């Protein structure tokens, strides 16, 4: 088991962009032995996916790959022609699982055909052998009644079941290496836990090597043996997963760990990493993390720090500082989160709200009705953060749209600040409740400048004149931490975190009393999520806002919420103070949800250095 | 820590230099990106060149044309172009059956073709985009009604209808522009309707709705600006289609009336003697071809240049 399945040295990937060549991966070396699993962790723009795609030769056409050597078993990947690679390696000796199970399967073919087609066409096995093996693999991935599944179409399966099919497909040819690129990011948390367990068990049982690519440190904690942490195309730290998560040596790894909210333990202010990831153009003769590093030295900006051994055996990191120096500077934030505020008067009151969607499957068929929200009653008090938790399809987004006036309940009533929502003129409603949406890429009009986007609510509600609107624009941009220079920029010129600040600024410009935040950080990287969550916390105390937070992420709930309601199938199954619900859940569904959360065990969170 | 403390001037300078290397170039604005892609797109540049040259010709026709396009000189009937035997530089492209200078008539014909093209494409744009945005945004019964209109329009033979309308109203340049425009809105409708249905579901529309914007404010301020690229592309295609429609009507005798110099009419007038005086048909044909190809190249180019925007 000692031979290296994969041995890559000096892998560099450059992509042509309008701004010049972008170095997505720079001088990356890694080696993986048979039967071992490796996690590649990084935020977006770290080059983790590009690394996986270059192993599978799936890089976009504008990308150029160079490497000193790339060996896979006894094959030299750099010398292999594309047809040979496709014929012998891709899909046969290297299997791959993608992020989106909903679009990875062809909707017009049966599961069985899609599983057997590849191996049969490559003459690896007969049709009968392939069918037998497909059934065996479906059974192995835990799908009940695999024979029946073979005749089904993708739309008949749920997201988690489709990801199991994808795993079975990757395993059909017994690959030596399995590449899993964010295999659970698109799945609900309870399904994510099952898929991660499955991947780990299969990898160990079949003795294959596995590379798991993810942005989530907690996902690798229980799944892989070793981990590499990537930042801006380079490996900043590598080693056994326990050592790296318990005793991180590199400032970035440390900072990333204290930026991630945890679902358990003491609530501290998150240690946000200032700034954002900037792409690397050309060759960078400096430490990749230097622009954002709290422990930066002049030497970091004039030379690439060499990799050096870390505290644990097998651990290595690229930094000029000793681990204890890093620990001194990059400490866990000691500020505790403010205690729950004294509950004020109720500002949102929902009484037995139902929202029924009707659809007619065919012209002559009977109407079908689905209650997305089924008799929900809740109260949100002034100044508190109320979290609505649920998985996809639980009705939480429908409920939040009703609160924003974007949808009307079929029955029941909603009162905002003591007034019935149906009686509120839309302008007045807009001055009471404002939204912050999940995806900052779609919540800003791409054809408008930042200044025009933020002041648009003032123009719609005819508040003030040009001068007072400009003054308000600058005030609110300062409040959310946006540089004034962005006024004339377009959303496409900003990063995800900056765009989310613009969305928050637009929501605050009319000085509303309630912010309805629908998954405000799910589309953001961990370090940027920390910035936004801290910003929301600060704004809440400064402006006396009430936050209505819709999320699936228990860690965000634990970090932010004073009170929690857990929603399932359109109903609220549990509603109480956050402390009570997270520590002593009474409903079985809440308990299942909490158990499924991938956790960095308490002792792994770096404590404040003495 | 001693090795870090010697931050002398050289180290400071190195730090400033490498720091500058590390700062990425500022991201480009959407306008800059479009200009950058336009600078690389040969087809777009060629089409734009043809279109601008023809527009200039139309505007400065009185200065360029060597003769009055309406003056007949029966002594000089059917003069061949300069490169054929018997041609003279007096009439570089020859004369027609009434002895009028063919080059001057072609130059003045540019005015009519472009006026009909731009006029009709604009009228069609107003009808098609209005209906498209309304039906895409409201959906439901409004959408069904607009769809019925669309189906009805597509079921009617366009040229026959146009001929009938011109026949009833009476031919003139303005009538031709109006009728060709009123009959060319379906492409605008189909594209803007589906784009609006997609945009309606995007969060920035919901955000605007939540701040109290009316439907009309959302349609004009949030949706319409995001359709501008598609509308521009369709406009250039409709430009070519309308010019051809005018030429067809004029060829059939129900479009531009003589003695006005329309290319379609010139082809019709020349067809009697096509086998003996082929240039009378070929030359206006080349002019039409150039204009329509130019418009389509610009349309194709615009689509390539602008489409990456708005996604992402």
Indicate whether A545 and A484 sit together in one domain.
yes
- Torsion-angle region of residue A351: left (phi > 0), alpha (psi -120 to 50) or beta? beta
Residues A358 and A472 in one domain: yes
Provide the pLDDT for residue B144. Answer: 92
Task: Give the architecture (CATH level 2) of B107-312.
Answer: Orthogonal Bundle (1.10)
- Where among A337, A370, A393 does a domain terminate? A337
Q: Tell me whether residue A521 is in a domain.
A: yes
For residue A565, the surrounding DSSP H or E stretch is strand A563-568
Q: Same domain, yes or no, for A264 and A353?
A: no
Calculate mean pLDDT across residues A158-172: 88
Q: Does A297 share its domain with A433? A: no
A329 in the same domain as A368: no
Residue A461 and residue A387 share a domain: yes
Exposed (0-12), middle (13-18) or buried (19+): which is B226, by Cβ within 10 Å? Answer: buried
- Residue A339 — pLDDT band, cuts 50, 70, 90? low
The answer to whether position A127 is within a domain reads no
CA–CA separation, A500 vs A55, rounded Å?
34
pLDDT digits (tens, 9 = 90+) for A9-32: 999 999 887 777 888 899 899 889
Cα of B267 to nearest chain A Cα, Å = 45
Among A285, A305, A337, residue at a domain's last position: A337
Interface contact A19-B25, CB threshold 8 A: yes
Q: Is the pLDDT of residue A116 over 70?
A: yes
pLDDT of residue B26: 59
- A194 inside domain: no
DSSP secondary structure letter of residue B171: -
> Which residue, among B243, B311, B105, B64, has the nearest Cα to A491 in the 3D structure?
B311
- DSSP per-residue string spanning A358-421: EE-SSSSSPPEEEEEEEEEEEEEETT-EEEEE--TTSSHHHHHHHHTTSS--SEEEEEETTEEG
Q: Over 70: is that where the pLDDT of A605 sits?
A: no
Q: Which of B209, B204, B208, B213 is nearest to A437 (CA)?
A: B204
For the complex shown, is ipTM > 0.90?
no
Asked if A436 and A487 sit in the same domain, the reply is yes
Q: Which of A278, A313, A337 is the last residue of a domain?
A: A337
Question: Which residue, A408, A444, A443, is CA-closest to A423?
Answer: A408
Neighbours of B57 (CB within 10 A): 19
pLDDT value for B3:
41
Residues in chain B: 312
Residues A359 and A270 in one domain: no
Task: Give residue B196's pLDDT.
Answer: 93
A301 within a domain of the structure (yes/no): yes
Is A78 a member of any domain? no
**Per-residue pLDDT at A2:** 56
A544 touches chain B (CB under 8 A): no
Residue of B nearest to A458 (CA): B211
Classify the phi-psi angles of A43: left when phi > 0, otherwise alpha if psi is within -120 to 50, otherwise beta.
beta
Task: Identify whether residues A439 and A583 lie together within a single domain.
Answer: yes
Residues of A in contact with B22 (CB under 8 A): 278, 284, 286, 290-291, 301
For residue range B88-104, list pLDDT tens digits in order: 777 778 888 788 888 88
Q: How many CA atoms lie within 13 A of B284 on its CB side?
A: 33
Q: What is the DSSP string of A100-165?
A: -HHHHS-TTS-HHHHHHHHHHHTTSS-HHHHHHHHHHHHHHTT-SSHHHHHT--GGGS-HHHHHHH
Under a CB-based contact definition with an 8 Å cutoff, are residues A212 and A40 in contact?
A: yes
Instruction: Supply A213's token pair.
Output: 């690519």
- Cα-only R_g, chain B: 27
State yes or no: pLDDT of A610 exceeds 50: no
Rounded average pLDDT per 10-residue block, chain B, 312 residues: 37 36 56 80 90 91 84 79 77 80 88 90 94 92 92 88 87 89 92 92 90 89 90 89 88 84 85 83 89 89 70 34
How high does pLDDT run on average in chain A?
Answer: 86
Question: Considering only A140-149, A353-362, A566-575, B8-17, which range has the smallest mean pLDDT?
Answer: B8-17
Residue A267 has pLDDT above 90, yes or no: no
pLDDT at residue A238 in the model: 93
Compute the distance between CA of residue A479 and CA of residue A498 in angstroms, rounded to an integer.
13
Say what the pLDDT of residue A338 is.
67
What phi and psi values does residue B215 have, to the nearest 5 degrees? -60, -40
Residues on chain A touching B211 (C-beta within 8 angstroms): 430, 434, 456-457, 460-461, 506, 510
Contact B207 A284 (CB under 8 A): no
Contact, B19 vs A301, CB < 8 A? yes
Strand order in the sheet with A307-309: A94-97, A177-181, A209-214, A37-41, A226-231, A234-240, A316-318, A307-309
Which tokens sit at A135?
């059934």
Contact A445 B203 (CB under 8 A): no
- Res. A496 pLDDT band, cuts 50 70 90: confident
Where in chain B are the domains? Answer: 107-312
User: Between residues 193 and 212 of chain B, which touch chain A (CB distance below 8 Å)?
Assistant: 202-204, 206-212
- B224, B215 in Cβ contact below 8 A? no
**Cβ <8 Å between A445 and B222:** yes
pLDDT at residue number B19: 37
pLDDT digits (tens, 9 = 90+) for B188-200: 999 999 999 999 9
CATH of the domain at A516: 3.40.50.300
Q: Would the pTM of this model clear 0.95, i.e. be above it?
A: no
Say yes or no: A477 and A374 in one domain: yes
Inter-chain contacts counted by CB atoms under 8 A, chains A and B:
127
Report yes or no: A151 at the B interface, CB cutoff 8 Å: no
What is the domain range of residue A524?
346-594
Collapse the DSSP code of A193 into the 3-class scheme (helix H, G, I; strand E, B; otherwise coil) and give the result.
helix
Cα angle, residue A308 at apex, residues A281 and A312 outer, rounded to 5° = 125
- What is the count of structural domains for chain A? 2
For residues A503 and A424, membership in a common domain is answered with yes
Which band of pLDDT confidence, cut at 50, 70 and 90, is reported for residue A362? low
Low-confidence winner among A231-240, A358-367, A461-470, B170-179 (lowest mean pLDDT): A358-367
Per-residue model confidence (pLDDT) at position A525 = 84
Residues on chain B touching A494 (C-beta within 8 angstroms): 27
A302 vs B18, B207, B312: nearest CB: B18
């Amino acid at each position: 088991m000692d031979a290296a399945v994969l041995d890559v040295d000096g892998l560099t990937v450059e992509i042509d962009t309008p701004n010049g060549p972008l170095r997505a991966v720079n001088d990356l070396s890694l080696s993986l032995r048979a039967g071992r699993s490796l996690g590649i962790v990084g935020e977006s723009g770290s080059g983790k996916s590009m690394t996986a795609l270059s192993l599978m030769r799936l890089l976009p056409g504008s990308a150029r790959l160079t490497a000193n050597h790339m060996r896979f078993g006894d094959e030299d990947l750099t010398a292999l022609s594309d047809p040979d690679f496709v014929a012998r390696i891709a899909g046969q000796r290297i299997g791959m699982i993608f992020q989106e199970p909903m679009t990875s399967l062809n909707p017009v073919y049966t599961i069985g055909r899609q599983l057997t087609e590849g191996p049969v066409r490559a003459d690896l096995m007969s049709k009968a052998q392939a069918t037998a093996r497909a059934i065996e693999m479906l059974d192995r991935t835990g799908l009940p009644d695999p024979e029946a599944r073979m005749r089904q179409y993708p739309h008949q399966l749920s997201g988690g079941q489709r990801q199991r099919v994808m795993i079975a497909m990757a395993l059909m040819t017994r690959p030596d290496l399995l590449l899993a690129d964010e295999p659970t990011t698109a799945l609900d948390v309870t399904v994510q836990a099952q898929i991660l367990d499955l991947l780990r068990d299969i990898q160990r049982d079949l003795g294959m090597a596995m590379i798991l690519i993810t942005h989530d440190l907690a996902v690798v904690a229980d799944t892989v043996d070793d981990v590499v942490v990537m930042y801006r195309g380079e490996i900043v730290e590598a080693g056994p997963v326990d050592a790296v998560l318990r005793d991180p040596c590199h400032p970035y790894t440390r900072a990333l760990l204290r930026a991630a909210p945890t679902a358990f333990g003491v609530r501290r202010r998150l240690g946000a990493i200032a700034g954002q990831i900037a792409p690397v153009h050309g060759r960078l003769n400096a430490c990749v993390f230097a622009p954002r590093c709290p422990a930066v030295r002049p030497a970091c900006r004039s030379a690439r720090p060499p990799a050096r051994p870390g505290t644990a055996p097998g651990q290595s990191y690229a930094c000029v500082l000793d681990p204890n120096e890093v620990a001194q500077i990059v400490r866990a934030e000691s500020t505790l989160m403010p205690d729950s505020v004294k509950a004020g008067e109720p500002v949102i009151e929902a009484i037995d709200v139902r929202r029924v969607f009707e659809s007619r499957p065919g012209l002559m068929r009977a109407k079908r009705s689905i209650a997305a929200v089924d008799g929900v009653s809740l109260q949100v008090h002034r100044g508190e953060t109320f979290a609505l938790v649920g998985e996809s399809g639980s009705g939480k987004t429908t409920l939040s749209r009703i609160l924003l006036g974007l949808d009307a309940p079929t029955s029941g009533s909603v009162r905002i600040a003591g007034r019935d929502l149906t009686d509120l003129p839309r302008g007045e409603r807009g001055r009471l409740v404002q939204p912050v949406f999940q995806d900052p890429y779609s919540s800003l009009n791409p054809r408008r400048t930042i200044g025009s986007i933020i002041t648009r609510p003032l123009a719609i509600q005819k508040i003030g004149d040009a001068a007072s609107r400009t003054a308000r624009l600058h005030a609110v941009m300062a409040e959310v931490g946006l540089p004034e220079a962005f006024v004339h920029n377009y959303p496409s010129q900003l990063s995800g975190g900056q765009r989310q600040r613009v969305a928050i600024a637009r929501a605050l410009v009319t000085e509303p009393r309630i912010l309805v935040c629908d998954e405000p950080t799910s589309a953001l990287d961990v370090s940027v999520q920390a910035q936004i969550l801290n910003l929301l916390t600060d704004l809440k105390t400064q402006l006396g806002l009430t936050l209505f937070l819709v999320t699936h992420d228990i860690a965000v709930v634990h970090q932010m919420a004073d009170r929690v309601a857990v929603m399932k199938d359109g109903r609220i199954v549990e509603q109480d103070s956050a402390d009570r619900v997270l520590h002593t859940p009474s409903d079985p569904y809440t308990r299942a949800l909490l158990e499924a959360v991938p956790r960095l065990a308490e002792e792994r969170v770096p404590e404040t250095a003495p | 820590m001693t090795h870090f403390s010697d931050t002398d001037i050289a180290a400071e300078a190195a730090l400033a230099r490498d720091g500058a290397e590390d700062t990425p170039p500022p991201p480009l604005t959407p306008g800059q990106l479009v200009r950058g892609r336009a600078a690389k797109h040969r087809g777009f540049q060629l089409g734009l060149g043809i279109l601008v040259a023809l527009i200039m010709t139309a505007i400065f026709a009185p200065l360029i044309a060597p003769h009055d396009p309406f003056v007949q000189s029966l002594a000089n009937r059917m003069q061949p172009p300069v490169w054929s035997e018997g041609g003279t530089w007096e009439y570089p492209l020859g004369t027609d059956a009434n002895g009028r200078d063919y080059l001057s008539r072609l130059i003045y014909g540019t005015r009519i073709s472009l006026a009909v093209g731009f006029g009709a494409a604009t009228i069609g744009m107003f009808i098609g985009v209005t209906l498209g945005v309304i039906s895409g945004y409201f959906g439901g019964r409004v959408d069904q009604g607009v769809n019925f209109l669309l189906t009805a329009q597509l079921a009617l033979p366009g040229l026959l209808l146009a001929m009938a309308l011109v026949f009833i109203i009476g031919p003139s340049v303005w009538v031709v522009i109006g009728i060709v425009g009123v009959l060319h809105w379906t492409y605008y409708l189909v594209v803007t309707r589906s784009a609006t249905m997609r945009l309606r579901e995007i969060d920035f529309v919901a955000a605007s709705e939540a701040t109290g914007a009316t439907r009309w404010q959302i349609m004009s301020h949030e949706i319409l600006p995001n359709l501008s690229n598609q509308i521009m592309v369709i406009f250039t295609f409709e430009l070519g289609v309308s010019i051809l429609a005018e030429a067809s009507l004029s060829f059939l005798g129900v479009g531009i009336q003589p003695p006005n110099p329309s290319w379609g009419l010139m082809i019709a007038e020349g067809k009697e003697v096509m086998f003996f005086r082929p240039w009378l048909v070929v030359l206006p044909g080349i002019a039409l071809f150039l204009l329509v190809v130019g418009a389509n190249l610009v349309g194709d180019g615009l689509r390539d240049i602008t489409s990456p925007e708005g996604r992402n």
